[in-house]
Amino acid sequence: MRIRLPRPRRRRPAPDPAVWSLSAIVPGTRWLPCHTTVCAHTTTRHTPHGTGYRCTACGTTKGDQP
């Protein structure tokens, strides 16, 4: 009776690491709950816009507005 051993597999190269930077976040950005169905009522990033904050996903403005 012959025992068949599995063949060794070649190693695949590791994928490139994800590149991201914190410098892309605008100063004053806040994570606020967006109460629209477009954002599915989740917490999204809002950037300063005038005296309020604009959602980066759907574009709605919340907070004090002129």
Beta strands, E only, the chain: 30-33, 43-49, 52-55, 61-63
- Each residue of 4-63: pLDDT tens digit? 888 888 888 888 887 776 667 888 999 999 888 888 888 999 999 888 999 989 999 988
pLDDT of residue 35: 87
What's the pTM value of the predicted model, to 2 decimals? Answer: 0.58
Length of the chain: 66
The dihedral through the CA atoms of 51, 49, 53, 45 has a sign that is negative
pLDDT of residue 55: 92
State the virtual CA torsion across 24, 29, 32, 38 in degrees, nearest 10: -50
pLDDT of residue 14: 82
